[in-house]
Amino acid sequence: MATEQLIWLLPLPPLVSFFLIVLLANRNKALSHTIGIGAAFLSWLAGMVVFFRAVTGEHGLHGLGEHPLHSAMDWLPLGDGAFQIGVNIDPLSALTLFFVCWTVLMIFIYSVGYHNFGQPEGEHDQKGLPPHGATVTDEHGHQHTVLSVEPNYSRFFAFISLFAFGMFVLVVSDNLLTLFVGWEIMGLCSYLLIGFWFAKPSARAAAIKAFMTTRIGDVFMLLGLAYLYSAAGSLSYSVIFSPEVLDRLVHDAAVGGFLGLSAAGLIGLLLFIGTVGKSAQFPLHVWLPDAMEGPTPVSAMIHAATMVSAGVYMVIRIFPILAAGAEHGLTPAMTVMAFIGAFTALFAATIAVAQNDIKRVLAYSTISQLGFMIAALGIGAYVAAAFHLLTHAFFKALLFLGSGSVIHGMEHGVLHTGNHDVDPQDMMNMGGLRKKMPVTFWTFLIGGFALSGFPFITAGFWSKDEILADAWAHGHTAVFWTLAIAALLTAFYTMRQIMLTFFGEPRTKEAEHAHETPWTMTAPLVILSVFAVAAGWAGIPEDFPILGGLVANFIHGVSATLPAAMIEKAPAFNVIPLIASLVVALGGLFLGWLVYRKYKAGATDPVKKMLGGLHTVLQNKYYLDELYQATFVRLFNWISEVFTPAMDRGVIDGFLHGIARVAFSLGGIFRDRFETPVITGAADLLGNGVKGFGREFRGIQSGRIQQYMNVVLVIVVVLAVFIYILAQV
Amino acid sequence: MTPVQIIFLVVSLMLLVSAFMVVTVRNLVRAALWLISTLFMTAVVFVLLDAGFLAVVQVVVYIGAIAILFIFAVMLTRRVMADTGPQTNANGWWVGLSSLALFAGITWILLGWGGSSADAPIFPAGLDTVTDLGMGLVDPNGFILPFEVASVLLLAALIGAIVVAWDRDN
Amino acid sequence: MIPLSWYLILAAALFSLGLFGVLSRKNAVAILMGVELMLNAVNINLVAFWRYSAPEVIAGQVFTIIVFAVSAAEVAVGLALVISLYRRRQTVIAENIDLLRW
């Protein structure tokens, strides 16, 4: 099959799977997950075929950049031409496709085990609540509570299939419109999946929060898209990134001379705000930690591997617009991005240090790492940003899935002891799990080291180092130091997390009774950990001492996606950023080990002791949620609950009632002054007149023939006289 | 005054008196009898006009059939109206006036018409009116059609009278 | 000789008398008698005109014969109606038969 056709077909299996599950397979759990995984597998297969064909074409990635795999069709007839939509695989989308296919498939397989397929149904399980155990009697008559299967199992696979469809559409699209379509589909599925356990009020609130917050970003993005379309006449990449259009966008001033920006600047800024929402950057980051209410595969997929990556992907995609105009410096849009990215990276890392929920740490970690990517793009490090996107997807998905495995193990312990007050997600209740859950431990360790940037072996090191190297080489020292400190904190809190969860002795009975999770959950962990290590080796800089050049720097070919004028050479090797990377990574890991190696149950968190009051601020996320609640949320609640109904009832209804009253009174006047006397009077007069006339005249018809004949006689005589007289005349 | 004129005047006087009696007498049987008298006088007038056959037909048909029919009708409808009370309705005077006016008008027109004072032409000798009448009534170029139509009319009247007067309660 | 006008005036007088009878009599049978008088007047007129214009043309007498037939038929049916009416309404007074009144 031609590659272009394959690219068109790529997003379809998950969509078909969604419909099949919803319409046909909803009651059959095994059929649902078979359809879902089958669809993910088909898309994975197609994605791998497309990827290999794309990168092994002539000239490798560079050739792909100049001649992307492209196919378009007319979609919306507009006057003479038509709005075209199509598919496009260039180096950036090929790379993204690679990691999306793998992570999606791994998460689908993981979900089977996570939702306890094969386990009995719980007696008290309700659809909309997380399953909490089924009682089984073994052959000795002992009753155990075991994990029960998720009641809404099929629904989950339907939703993640739809989500996968959205992501694939976004990745393969060749124009910003279908990208936005995929973006919105994922927003919807994110809402549905965060609120998967819809009977929990916290989950419902989190789903709404996620949707609303990303919506704010989406509105601005839509404005940006509209502006771009009106300025450039098209949304296809081949048109909007062409030198002529870019030139025009740069030289046109923004609408209304907005802040002295060029059109390109304003468009870039508006589209970037979409990413701020979707990729949870400050100030719209507040939804991501709450989104941990959803099942862990959802957190992994949406909030690590795909949806938040989509925000970064989009902004990488529109880099030509962002960078247009400034030859070697930074455009205003890029400066904004660098600032927000770096700030978010540090900001989120500080909060992560003080979190106790295993998933919250990872959520803030995600926000922080996304900040890294945005900052990288903000300083113009195109390749570094794309590289970090790739590696982050793998290791963050791995970490989330690992945390899900840990939580499962802890839940098993909770069911065993029957003590439901113990939160299976609280790291303070864990400890010593490396002995109980070895596979989970080793894969989590690999993921954690990748996140921290453990030197040379892990993928995270290479991508983070590239960002720091780029920042140093182009002289963006503020960004450099901010990201370096954030990386230090990243390594620290990651080691803290690993120490608290896996090392030491089990701090609760529940942790003692944890055990390893089934192969459907551990196999994906192993596979992802391979990538978490190996993905980095594809991007070793060429002039790296000793190691450079051993493996061809594949990732650097991503820059071929850019228009030729913007492609920069990789920065020359500088030892300072390398030393900084090593110091922060190893230093942070060492510090984390140092502080937490002696942590016992019930003791205060050492960080809390060190920071004191600051720790409370960090733990409460700088009270930002409370601030938003007190200001925006209350304001909008007031508008919708008080102001709008009052307006509606008072003003609008009042206006309508007023009109009605006027109409009524006018009608009354007309009726009494005009209609009744004149018209009705005339009609009545006519009617009564005729009636009276008739009543008088009917006396003629007496029924007596003699009377009739009398009349005839009289008339005949009169007529005769008349005619006679006329005849005489 | 020729004798014929005197006869005519006497006959017409009797005719008119009888007719007057028909329309004013209260007792209906007497009215019927006066009608017979009127019809007889009319037959005499026909004779004066050299229409002997018609005079005979007048007597036979009118007096012999129709007048008898009248008497029967009067007899059959006598119960309620016991020959009492005025027979002329309220309009009597006005009708009288109108008829008088009519008569006056017709007479005045007639007298103004020149041809009314004409004398009768000589009756052709040998003119057999009866034969002529008979031949005329069956002659295809003559009056066979009115003759047939009249017979159909009589048939219809016959059937109609029977049907109308049929006593359905029996 | 007798001028035509005498016959015609006679017929007119008879006709008027008949008309008077029709319009002023209460009893329905009496009304029909009035109608007979009028028909007789017509007959006198017809025969007079026959005799005084062209006695050899037999059309005049034919006309009269037809009038005989018609009047006979009319009287028969008329009296049948009166009798039927008498059976229904127990009255033959024309004033009381006013069903077609408004």
**Assigned token pair, A682:** 């005339």
| Structure letter (DSSP) for residue A357 | B
- Buried b / exposed e along A67-106 (16+ C-beta atoms within 10 A): ebbbbeeeeeeeeeeeebbbbbbbbbbbbbbbbbbbbbbb
C80's enclosing H/E stretch is helix C59-89
As to burial, measured by CB atoms within 10 angstroms (0-12 exposed, 13-18 middle, 19+ buried), residue A28 is middle
Q: Quote the minimal CA–CA distance from C54 to chain B in Å.
A: 8
| Runs of H (alpha helix) within A301-432 | 307-317, 319-323, 332-353, 358-378, 382-417
**How many residues can be counted in chain A?**
729
Residue in C94, C100, C101 closest to A706 by CB: C94
Evaluated on CA atoms A83, A86, A91, A96, the torsion sign reads positive
The answer to whether A194 touches A298, Cβ cutoff 8 Å, is yes
* Residue C32 in contact with partner chain A when CB distance is under 8 A: no
* Residue A724 in contact with partner chain B when CB distance is under 8 A: yes
Residue of A704, A707, A713, A715 to mutate when probing chain C, most C C-beta within 10 A = A704
- At residue A30's C-alpha, the angle toward residues A24 and A33, to 5°, is 80
Write out pLDDT tens, residues B55-86: 999 999 999 999 999 999 998 887 655 556 66
Distance between terminal CA atoms of chain A? 115
Q: Quote the minimal CA–CA distance from C76 to chain A in Å.
A: 19
Contact A717 B98 (CB under 8 A): yes
Is A141 contained in some domain? no
**How many angstroms separate the CA atoms of A303 and A320, rounded?**
26
Residue in A710, A721, A724 closest to B95 by CB: A710
- At residue A603's C-alpha, the angle toward residues A602 and A608, to 5°, is 130
Task: Indicate the pLDDT class of residue C1, thresholds 50, 70 and 90.
Answer: confident
The answer to whether A371 touches A80, Cβ cutoff 8 Å, is no
**How many angstroms separate the CA atoms of A47 and A393, rounded?**
16
Task: Indicate the pLDDT class of residue A28, thresholds 50, 70 and 90.
Answer: confident
Contact B98 A714 (CB under 8 A): yes
Q: Quote the minimal CA–CA distance from C6 to chain A in Å.
A: 22
The predicted structure's pLDDT at residue A361: 92
**How many angstroms separate the CA atoms of C31 and A706, rounded?**
9
Contact C52 B42 (CB under 8 A): no
Arch. (CATH architecture) of B3-81+126-165? Up-down Bundle (1.20)
pLDDT surpassing 80 at residue A144: no
Which residues of chain B neighbour C55 with C-beta distances below 8 Å?
A: 50, 121, 123-124, 127, 129
Domain carrying residue A587 = 3-129+148-619
The predicted structure's pLDDT at residue A327: 67
Q: Select from A29, A33, A302 the least CA-distant residue to A163.
A: A302
The predicted structure's pLDDT at residue A380: 86
Write out pLDDT tens, residues C22-51: 998 988 999 999 999 999 999 999 999 999
Cα separations in angstroms, C45 against A713, C41, C42, C48, C63: 20, 6, 5, 5, 11
The predicted structure's pLDDT at residue B66: 94
Q: Select from A39, A99, A56 the least CA-distant residue to A557.
A: A56
The predicted structure's pLDDT at residue A393: 92
How many Cβ pairs within 8 Å bridge chains B and C? Answer: 259
- A305-309, A366-370, A567-571: which is most confident: A366-370
**How many angstroms separate the CA atoms of A352 and A517, rounded?**
26
Interface predicted TM-score (ipTM): 0.92
Q: Quote the minimal CA–CA distance from C45 to chain B in Å.
A: 10
Q: How many domains, chain A?
A: 1
Write out pLDDT tens, residues A406-438: 998 888 888 888 777 778 888 888 888 888 888
Angle between helices A12-23 and A29-55 (to 10 degrees): 170
Contact B87 C44 (CB under 8 A): no
AA identity, residue A295: P
Other chains touching C, judged by 3 or more CB pairs under 8 Å: A, B
Is A680 contained in some domain? no
Question: Mean pLDDT across chain C, nearest whole number?
Answer: 91
Which residues of chain A neighbour C31 with C-beta distances below 8 Å?
A: 706
* Residue B70 in contact with partner chain C when CB distance is under 8 A: yes
Is A413 contained in some domain? yes
Least confident of A299-303, A437-441, A603-607, B38-42: A603-607
**How many angstroms separate the CA atoms of A691 and B157, rounded?**
43
The predicted structure's pLDDT at residue B85: 62
Contact B110 C5 (CB under 8 A): yes
The answer to whether A131 touches A156, Cβ cutoff 8 Å, is no
Q: Quote the minimal CA–CA distance from A690 to chain C in Å.
A: 15
pLDDT surpassing 70 at residue C19: yes
The predicted structure's pLDDT at residue B83: 55
The answer to whether A706 touches C95, Cβ cutoff 8 Å, is yes
pLDDT tens, per residue, chain B with 170 residues: 788 899 999 999 999 999 999 999 888 899 999 999 999 999 999 999 989 999 999 999 999 999 999 999 998 887 655 556 667 777 778 889 889 989 998 998 888 887 777 777 877 777 778 888 888 888 888 899 999 999 999 999 999 999 988 877 76
Residue range A286-310: mean pLDDT, rounded: 88
Q: How many Cβ atoms sit within 10 Å of the Cβ of residue A657?
A: 11
The values of phi and psi at residue A328, to 5°, are -130, -10
**How many angstroms separate the CA atoms of C59 and B133, rounded?**
8
Write out pLDDT tens, residues A362-377: 999 999 999 999 999 9
The predicted structure's pLDDT at residue A40: 94
Residue range C56-68: mean pLDDT, rounded: 92
A287's enclosing H/E stretch is helix A287-290
Other chains touching B, judged by 3 or more CB pairs under 8 Å: A, C
Evaluated on CA atoms A124, A125, A131, A136, the torsion sign reads positive
Contact B153 C80 (CB under 8 A): no
Q: Quote the minimal CA–CA distance from B113 to chain A in Å.
A: 13
Residues whose CB falls within 8 Å of the CB of residue A213, separated by 6 or more in sequence, listed in order: A277, A284, A286, A287
Contact B91 A707 (CB under 8 A): yes
pLDDT surpassing 60 at residue C98: yes
Residue of C nearest to B39 (CA): C40
* Residue A126 in contact with partner chain C when CB distance is under 8 A: no
Contact C95 A706 (CB under 8 A): yes
Write out pLDDT tens, residues A662-705: 999 999 998 888 888 888 888 989 999 999 998 888 888 888 88
The values of phi and psi at residue A208, to 5°, are -65, -40
pLDDT surpassing 70 at residue A221: yes
Task: Indicate the pLDDT class of residue A59, thresholds 50, 70 and 90.
Answer: low
The answer to whether A178 touches A236, Cβ cutoff 8 Å, is no
| Domains along chain C with CATH numbers | 4-90 (1.10.287.3510)
The values of phi and psi at residue A703, to 5°, are 85, -5
Question: Mean pLDDT across chain A, nearest whole number?
Answer: 87
The answer to whether A399 touches A451, Cβ cutoff 8 Å, is yes
The answer to whether A480 touches A468, Cβ cutoff 8 Å, is yes
**How many angstroms separate the CA atoms of A47 and A324, rounded?**
32
